[in-house]
Each structure stands twice: as structure tokens, then as C-alpha cells.
Structure 1
């Protein structure tokens, strides 16, 4: 859907918080913005802004947004109208929203699957984590996905973009050992034959340990 890229006018994080905070659902900032919130600085330009919610709450989200926003389902390179009260099956996990009467896309909503209070990684269901352990909050109270989880989504994609590599290099020095180990183990589960990010993380760990010994 690259042809729609020029039609994006993404909202700010503050505006997303203004829209989503009154809605009685769990939500989090995701994507590159989540990593910049963790770093507490803007590291690069962001073409869009992603919000993630739980699948069990997507119809509730629609009811709160429908008076001001129109949503579309992104699927296999197409954008399909999200009809009123349409329950989204598992293969639909990406929604695009624009303001009623406007043509520019304002934000995306990604849908997370969960089970028994656990978040489930969509690319390998054996990778799970307590829903109470997937997020952090800014000093202003904006919830965002933990960096190691967001990096798993980026590194676990079939196509790793240049900006994903930049994000990894920016965040890696700030991750604690527990978060770094979790990311490594999760990538190893998804890619048992190896992955370039596993090599990069291990090289960073070895370099850090060598510096501590000097």
C-alpha cells in the first residue's frame, strides 16, 4: 500500500493520547514511536503512528471512534471499509483511520491477540508474555510497548528495513540484560537457524563485557 504513503498526515503522540485515553480499553503506542518514547528523544522522522489494542476490545474501539473517524482494514495490499459492528477475524490485524470528511490517513491500529492474560506473538504463538509485562509509560502517562517486544516485531519481519536497523542500534545500548536476553531468545525461537540480529546482539554483549573488564 505504498501508493498511500503520500496521503499520511500522522497525528502526534499527544493527540493520540487525547483520543484514546477516554476510551475504556487497553491501548499502547507501538512502532518506531514506541522506541523513541523509550529513548525519550526523536531519533528519526516517522511516516505514520501505530497504536495497538487487544482483539477482544476492537468493537468497543469502533463504537467510540465512529462519530469522528472512519476505519479501513488493511489486508493483502488492499484497504477495505471496516463496516459497523463487523467483528474482525484473526487474519485482520491492521486498521487505518482517517478523520471523517478528510482524505489523509491519521493513525493505524494494530490488533494483538491474547489468551488467559497473556500477549501472544503472532508469528510464533509459543512466544508469550503477561499482559501486565508488555508496556511502559512516559512521565505524561502515555503507554507504549516495551522496546524488546517492539524490536522483536521489527526483527521478526520478513523484510528488515534500514530504519529497523537504525532503531536496533539506537535502543540496544539502553536495554538491560534481561530485556536483551529475552529478545535474543525470542528471535532464536522464531529463527532456530540463526538471524542477523542475534549475531549483532551477541557481538554487542561481548563488546560490553570486554569494556567492563578493561
Structure 2
């Protein structure tokens, strides 16, 4: 479905980590997809036949319909998608910020990357979020599965990716346990 999109998009969440690791690490309940907020009208059109709900307010467990032509403003960024009103949720769509050619983290505006470095492409042509960016999002409230993801891709992160991830985590969680491990790996 997203292959026909004329805007950038990336597989996110655990699937992104699996694509980076080159293997599936665990089962997933849904598919996470990241798009830039500025492309929300295009993604809304792409999913016009879907049942779409926005988490409003974010993180409170409440959903409301995402109305056609409604422009979602920050802090709204999480959209739950299902094919029909009786189907299970299958896609979690996340909106992220951009300024020109820069991706801007919705968690802290000083955390940035050029958009062309935000993702990677799998051997089969699937765009996915760069593992260091996905790990940054997972660092906010680390769960067991996030630790598994971190361990799976840490050996694959080059020095620039490790440095970017460490710098980004320091901004949001200066005493995060991953920081020590990122420094240890970067010295070896």
C-alpha cells in the first residue's frame, strides 16, 4: 500500500529494528509507520478508505476519529489505522516534524538529522527508520523488548550512529543505562 506513496515514509518500531538486524526478533501486534507531519494530507488520502483514529490527547489511551481534511497539529502525532470499523488495528502511523531538509525530533527540537539520513532501505527495497533513531525513541521508557532491540543492533551501529544516539539520549535521559554501553562499544 505505501509502495505507491509519493512522499517519504519509513517502517518504524520493532519491525525497523528487525529490518536493520536482518532477521525478525519477535512477533508484533501491528505495523508502525513514520511519516513527516508535512505529508499528513497525502497519507490521509492514501488511507482514505481506512478507519483512522488519532490519539487525543497523546498517551492517555483515548482515540477519536481523524476527520477528512483535518490537519493534526502538535502535540498530536499518533494515528491508529484499521481497514474497517470492525477490523483489528493494524497500522500505527506516527507523524514527525521537519524543517526544510532536516528531521526534527518531536521529543526535543535540538535533536535533528538530515531527512536523507533518517532511514535505510532493506535489500527488498523497504524503507525503514535508521536503527539509531528508532533506539532513540525506545530509550524514553525502556521495556524488555527495547533492551532486546538495543542488543540486536548495537554491534551493527557504526561510530557516527553510536555518537548520534548517545548525544540524543543525553538530551532526554542523561543517566540512561544505554549511554555507558554506547561508550564502551565505541571504544572497542
Q: Same fold (TM over 0.5)?
A: yes
Show the counterpart of 1:114.
98
Which residue pairs with 1:34 in the alignment?
A: 16
Structure 2 distance, partners of 1:138, 1:95, is 25
- Structure 1 unmatched ranges of 5 or more: 1-18, 210-214
Q: Deviations over 1:159-190 (max 9, x none)?
A: 21110011111111111111111111111222
Distance 1:143 1:34 in 2: 9
Higher-Rg member (1/2)? 1
Instruction: State the alpha-carbon separation in 2 of the partners of residues 117 and 175 from structure 1.
Output: 23
Listed one character per residue, the Cα deviations across residues 130-172 of structure 1 (whole Å, up to 9, x for unaligned) are 10111110121110010011101111x1x21110011111111
CA contact (8 A) 2:119 2:130 kept: yes
User: Which one of 83, 87, 98 corresponds to residue 103 of structure 1?
Assistant: 87
Number of corresponding residues: 185
Indicate which of 23, 47, 51 corresponds to 2:29.
47
Deviation at 1:45, TM superposition (A): 1.6
Which contiguous aligned blocks of 4+ residues in structure 1 show a shift greater than 2 angstroms? 100-103, 189-192, 202-206
Aligned partner of 2:153 in structure 1 is: 171
Q: Does 1:94 align with 2:75?
A: no
Q: CA deviation at 1:128?
A: 0.6
2:69 to 75, 85, 89: 85
**1:149 counterpart = 2:129:** no
Structure 2 segments unaligned to the other structure (5+ residues): none
| TM norm structure 1 | 0.82
Give the TM-score normalised by structure 2.
0.93
How far apart, in 2, do the equivalents of 1:163 and 1:153 lie?
13
Q: Which has the higher helix share?
A: 1
Contact kept, 8 Å, 2:31 with 2:92, in 1: the verdict is yes
- Per-residue CA deviations over 1:83-131 (Å, capped at 9, x if unaligned) read 1111101111000001125331111100010002100011111011110
Two-structure CA RMSD over aligned residues (Å): 1.3
